[in-house]
Amino acid sequence: MSVVILLMICSICVAGGFLVAYLWSVKKGQFDDLEASGFRILHDTKPVADKGDFQNSKIPK
Amino acid sequence: MAEVAVESHICYHCGTGTRRVVRYADKDFCCDGCKSVYALLEQNELCQYYDLNSHPAGSQAVGLDGALKEQSHKFAFLDNKEIAQQLYVFSSDSECHIEFYLPQVHCSSCVYLLENLHKLLPGVAMSALNFSKKTLKVSFSPAETSPRNIAQFLTGIGYEPYFSLSDLGDGNAQRGGLVKGASQQRLYRLGVAGFCFGNIMLLSFPEYFEWGRGDLDGLKSYFLVLNLILIVPVMLYSAQEFYSLAWGGLKKRYLTIDLPIVLAMLITLGRSLYEVANHLGPGYFDSLSGIVFFMLLGRFLQDKTHQKLSFDRDYTSYFPLSASVWKAGKTNSVPLTEIQKGDELVIHNQELIPVDARLAHGIAHIDYSFVTGESNPVSVQAGEWLYAGGRQLAGSIRVIAEKSMSQGYLVSLWNKSKQRSETSSGIENNYVHKASQWFTVALFTIAIGAAAYWWVVDASRVWKAVTSVLIVACPCALLLSVTFTHGHLLSVLAKNGLYVRGASVLESWRRVTVAIFDKTGTLTHSGRPKISFQGGELSSSVWDALGALALESSHPYARKVGHWLDRMRVPISDVVNVVGQGVEGAVDGVKYRLGNKRFVGLSAGMWVGMDGLVNHSGFAVGGLGESVSAATRNGGDLDVSGGSEIWCSVDGVVVGKFVLFSAYRDGLRGMLRRWRDDGKVVHVVSGDTASEKRVLQELLPIGSVLKFEQKPHQKQEIVKSLQGMGEVVMMVGDGLNDAGALMEADFGIAVSEDMGYFSPGCDAILMGDSLPKLHALWRLVQRGKRVIWWSFFVSILYNLVGLSFAVRGDLNPMIAAILMPASSISIVLFTWLATLYGSWREGLR
């Protein structure tokens, strides 16, 4: 049954990956403004750059 | 001349119906402002703006035409390096970042347009809009453009940035950062708790279904170890908030609901560790992490703040950033805080008077309605006092500052009202608090009872029974029902235009016995006056000419008349705006004039038939001192009580006048009656004169109290004396003149037309259009209490089932694991459905 342990470890790693992705997105400010991103998707033109990143950064890239 | 039938057209840009059409590129526009925005977008191939929403500009474009004409100086202060520097988020020689607050942002088209700013305005590198905060962050190159340029451009396309004194200084930036940090922290904790809860649940499955059959027994110990690891971040990180709140309550010798929760968590943890260590069972890690997760979720929903609103505004958000100081023949922008006594200031049309001052030069026509509640503008002679907070209505004036900002009347008014006793609100008399105390006592009684019983019957099971009781009956169901109900209530209220500071103030609103309303700006609609014309029959071409002329005026009232008339657009020539007097223009060689009596050439007594309406009652401004009340009206200005007048003449012959009345909002009568029907006393307290007493009496239910000419501090006294009689007072007001009363009242509601702009400190902000719904909203909050009681009842049912196992001392982890999330989820569902039902019953959205 050691395969179950292997699977368990895999599943926790995958879930942990999602947790890290979530924490990263909170940190990047993706949850600061939930409405605008929904609108941006409707626009034909490509955005100039990552808006979320720009909203947060104090130093220009 | 026969009336030419013209159908109404819809403006392609803003959706206003109009007969004065401007045609451009096969499309109809209501004014040149709208047309030029369209032209600009078309030129830059940004017409997707119009595909995303039809007529996207909406009401923000009203006055676009006129706004541009006079506002070129408005953002002059942005040229002042010192001021601009404080507004920058980042600055270097090659690139600067600045954040604008744009209250007009409202739809997906706004996002599209504003984020394409770099295509429209050279020098702008990038712009990003935060839709919920309505802030636009712009990155630009200071060599190519300036903040002033950007601000003026934004105004031109219908997004006028709003600056106020509170934007200045580091304090502002720091506060913003703190709020952001706190809400992110909560999201982190929620995420970590959710992750651990889900995984612990998964790892506990073998235990639930007992597919033990022996072959999995070896795995169980590995799963236990994983559970042990996963519970660590939940207890040490996610649950921190509960520890600090419980500890804070203990230090103040005050029993909060967090204390029994922390106790239950620690006991659950302790017993689980004991069981694991002694190989007695898998422990209750799943229930424990579930509790933490659901409670955090509930608090998150309840405290979801209205980011765009601030309930603790003070006068600094009302004042502009700077004033123009006149020195040696030119004007400089100077930060407001640096204005000294004796400085000569230039106040432009529609600007606020920043400090108490004396009029030096020009025609002053001041609207003090925000400060005093008096709705008619007052005219002031050279050498007389002008008070901070008034708005100049008629062109530019020059004034000599007599006090620095911090000594002014407005600031003293503010500071006086700040001395508020903090005892009235708070959680001391909260029914939730009472229920939780009752719950805690009952819980301990049951636990001790079970202990006593097992002590007699089987002493070895005492420890097990007591801990089981405490685990099962964790008051989290209680907490969940309160936080989730309040969370739902707040979001329904917000959807209907009432933004409440937080759940804690709802209780005082629920217990209200007296409702006090202010008149000007609250019951009346200051922005949209009712207009009527008194005078002779006029031909269609005269109406067209008057309509066109009114729109050319620089006076806001005259422009309102123009929009009200809504006539065909006719070419008009020789337009002359005489500030403070009126406007003159010619159509087909005929001269038309709009303005005050003297301007149209009307001498006293000539218009006897109509002068009966004109009431030259003395003007008194509450609390502003003698000098203002002594201000004489020079006969025939636009300021007659009962409404403002604009006279008109054709070729020197006076043909009549437009009268502008402040109109009462629709649907007030029913709303006010329903307060009475619920046994509440309605008061109307106004800073205005008693001229509209009869209209108001008609509007109000029987038994209401009416008071006129109340100065700001008198309003506050009224609230205080009612409270002294044991009443719970709700105050609904708008301006600074109500600020004291709003703070004094048990529940203060500030009425605001435009959410982004200034409203005084209060417990809730109500959108002006939602005022008729106020009573229904209050009823909903009443229902909220019932919802909470019912969900208590539901959770008690669960607790009884759980306790019936627990007191026997054989609580199976599987039963705990089913009961715990089942009760949490059903309470979450129940409160949501009940609030939805309640708002449906009250006819709310």
| CA-to-CA dists, residue A2 to A7, B108, B214, B218, B655, angstroms | 9, 54, 15, 10, 99
pLDDT at B778: 93
Tokens of B51: 């595909």
Identify whether B283 is part of a domain.
yes
- Dihedral of CA atoms B753, B759, B764, B767 in degrees, nearest 10, equals 0
Does the pLDDT at position B605 exceed 60?
no
Q: Using pLDDT thresholds of 50, 70 and 90, give the confidence band for residue B610.
A: very low
| B132 vs A23, A34, A58: nearest CB | A34
| CA-to-CA dists, residue B535 to B538, B559, B567, B607, angstroms | 9, 19, 18, 10
Please state, in angstroms and rounded to a whole number, the distance separating the CA atoms of residues B182 and B133.
16
Pairing of strands B135-140, B124-130: antiparallel
Q: What is the pLDDT of residues B780-799, one digit of tens each?
A: 999 988 888 888 788 778 77
pLDDT at B232: 93
- The amino acid occupying position B487 is G
| A36 vs B90, B92, B129: nearest CB | B129
Please state, in angstroms and rounded to a whole number, the distance separating the CA atoms of residues B159 and B101.
9
| A48 vs B126, B132, B133: nearest CB | B126
User: What DSSP string runs through B97-143?
Assistant: EEEEE-TT--SHHHHHHHHTHHHHSTTEEEEEEETTTTEEEEEE-TT
Are residues B567 and B660 both part of a single domain? yes
Instruction: Report yes or no on whether pTM surpasses 0.80.
Output: no
Inter-chain touch B187–A32, beta carbons under 8 Å: no
Does the pLDDT at position B10 exceed 50?
yes
CATH number at residue B337: 2.70.150.10
Identify whether B95 is part of a domain.
no
Please state, in angstroms and rounded to a whole number, the distance separating the CA atoms of residues B676 and B692.
21
Question: From the CA of B499, how many Å to the nearest CA of chain A?
Answer: 19
| B219 vs A4, A11, A49: nearest CB | A4
Identify whether B369 is part of a domain.
yes
Q: Which residues of B touch A54 (CB under 8 A)?
A: 126, 128, 137, 139
Give the side-chain half-sphere CA count within 13 A for B125: 16
Per-residue b/e over B569-592, b at no fewer than 16 CB within 10 Å?
A: beebeeeebbbbbbbbbbbeeeeb
Inter-chain touch B130–A32, beta carbons under 8 Å: yes
Inter-chain touch B219–A1, beta carbons under 8 Å: yes
Q: What is the pLDDT of residues B301-332, one digit of tens each?
A: 776 655 555 565 566 666 777 778 887 777 77
- Domain boundaries, given as residue ranges, for chain A: 2-56
Higher pLDDT pick, B416 / B122: B122
Does the pLDDT at position A22 exceed 90?
yes
Q: Which residues contact B825 (CB under 8 A, 6 or more apart)?
A: none
Please state, in angstroms and rounded to a whole number, the distance separating the CA atoms of residues B138 and B120.
13
Q: Which of A36-50, B10-24, B682-696 has the highest mean pLDDT?
A: B682-696
Tokens of B478: 């209680």
Q: Using pLDDT thresholds of 50, 70 and 90, give the confidence band for residue B558.
A: confident
| A15 vs B111, B132, B195: nearest CB | B195
Q: What is the pLDDT of residues B11-48, one digit of tens each?
A: 888 777 776 677 777 788 777 777 878 888 888 777 77
Q: Which residues of B touch A33 (CB under 8 A)?
A: 130-133
User: What DSSP string runs through B319-377?
Assistant: S-SEEEEEETTEEEEEEGGG--TT-EEEE-TTPBP-S-EEEEES-EEEE-HHHH---S-
Are residues B441 and B565 both part of a single domain? no
Q: What is the pLDDT of residues B459-518, one digit of tens each?
A: 877 877 787 777 766 666 777 788 888 888 888 888 888 888 777 788 888 889 999 998
pLDDT at B427: 43
| CA-to-CA dists, residue B268 to B208, B470, B824, angstroms | 18, 8, 17
Are residues B340 and B279 both part of a single domain? no
Which of B640, B664, B688 corresponds to the end of one domain? B664
Per-residue b/e over B629-646, b at no fewer than 16 CB within 10 Å?
A: eebebeebbbbbbbbbbb
Which of B26, B44, B68 corresponds to the end of one domain? B68
Local structure of B649: helix, strand or coil? strand
Tokens of B730: 């709700």
Does the pLDDT at position B641 exceed 80?
no
Are residues B642 and B565 both part of a single domain? yes
The sheet carrying B573-578 orders its strands as: B524-535, B653-664, B644-650, B590-595, B582-587, B573-578
Does the pLDDT at position B612 exceed 50?
no
Are residues B507 and B551 both part of a single domain? no
> Residue B405 carries which DSSP code?
G
Question: From the CA of B127, how many Å to the nearest CA of chain A?
Answer: 8
| B219 vs A5, A18, A31: nearest CB | A5
Q: What is the pLDDT of residues B62-72, one digit of tens each?
A: 555 555 555 56
Does the pLDDT at position A20 exceed 90?
yes
Tokens of A55: 């909203």
pLDDT at A19: 94
If you count DSSP H runs as helices and E runs as strands, how many of each does chain A have, helices first? 3, 0
Q: Which residues of A touch B131 (CB under 8 A)?
A: 33, 35-36, 39
**Quick one: average pLDDT of B441-467?**
83
**Testing the interface with B: which of A2, A8, A14 to mutate, by most B Cβ within 10 A?**
A8
Which of B732, B759, B780 corresponds to the end of one domain? B780
CATH number at residue B616: 3.40.1110.10
**Quick one: average pLDDT of B363-387?**
75
Q: Which residues contact B318 (CB under 8 A, 6 or more apart)?
A: B164, B165, B352, B370, B389, B736, B758
Interface of B with A (CB under 8 A): 48, 52, 89-90, 92, 95, 97, 107-108, 111-112, 115-116, 118, 126, 128-133, 137, 139, 180, 184, 187-188, 191-192, 195, 198-199, 202-203, 215-216, 218-219, 222-223, 226
Nearest CA-CA partner of B308 in B592, B106, B97, B53: B106
Nearest CA-CA partner of B433 in B243, B291, B260, B251: B260
**Quick one: average pLDDT of B422-451?**
66
Are residues B809 and B760 both part of a single domain? no
- Dihedral of CA atoms B278, B281, B283, B286 in degrees, nearest 10, equals 150
Question: From the CA of B179, how many Å to the nearest CA of chain A?
Answer: 11
CB B231 within 8 A of CB B196: yes
Are residues B688 and B726 both part of a single domain? yes
Are residues B238 and B366 both part of a single domain? no
Are residues B536 and B397 both part of a single domain? no
Domain of B837, in residue numbers: 177-305+430-488+783-841
Question: From the CA of B313, how many Å to the nearest CA of chain A?
Answer: 22
Q: Which of A6-15, A20-29, B627-636, B664-673 has the lowest mean pLDDT?
A: B627-636
Q: Which residues of A touch B180 (CB under 8 A)?
A: 32
Tokens of B6: 């013209």
Please state, in angstroms and rounded to a whole number, the distance separating the CA atoms of residues B445 and B442.
5
| A40 vs B90, B92, B111: nearest CB | B111
Pairing of strands B27-29, B590-595: unpaired
**Quick one: average pLDDT of B669-681?**
89
pLDDT at B94: 83
pLDDT at B66: 52
Nearest CA-CA partner of B123 in B94, B85, B158: B94
Are residues B189 and B282 both part of a single domain? yes
pLDDT at B313: 59
Q: Which residues of A touch B211 (CB under 8 A)?
A: none
Q: Which of A38-42, B446-450, B562-566, B816-820 has the highest mean pLDDT?
A: B446-450
Work out the number of other CB atoms within 10 angstroms of the CB of residue B653.
Answer: 10
Nearest CA-CA partner of B840 in B759, B790, B779: B779
Interface of A with B (CB under 8 A): 1, 4-5, 8, 11-12, 15-16, 18-19, 22-23, 26-27, 31-36, 38-40, 42-45, 47-49, 51, 54-55, 58-60
Pairing of strands B514-518, B681-685: parallel
Pairing of strands B705-707, B498-500: unpaired
Nearest residue in A to B128, CA atom: A51
pLDDT at B364: 80
Nearest CA-CA partner of B732 in B671, B822, B666, B786: B671
Local structure of B401: helix, strand or coil? strand
Question: From the CA of B111, how many Å to the nearest CA of chain A?
Answer: 7
Are residues B440 and B300 both part of a single domain? yes
Tokens of B821: 């999330």
User: What DSSP string runs through B561-619?
Assistant: HHHHH-PPP---EEEEEETTTEEEEEETTEEEEEESHHHHTPPTTTTHHHHTT---PPP
Nearest CA-CA partner of B226 in A22, A52, A42, A9: A9
Are residues B274 and B342 both part of a single domain? no
pLDDT at B424: 37
Question: From the CA of A47, how many Å to the nearest CA of chain B?
Answer: 8
**Quick one: average pLDDT of B70-77?**
67
Q: What is the pLDDT of residues B282-300, one digit of tens each?
A: 788 888 888 888 888 888 8
Identify whether B114 is part of a domain.
no
Nearest CA-CA partner of B637 in B613, B616, B607, B663: B616
Q: Using pLDDT thresholds of 50, 70 and 90, give the confidence band for residue B608.
A: very low
Tokens of B519: 């008149």
What's the mean pLDDT when you consider all of chain B? 76
Instruction: Report the number of distinct structural domains present in chain B.
Output: 5
How many A/B residue pairs have CB atoms within 8 Å? 92
Nearest residue in B to A12, CA atom: B199
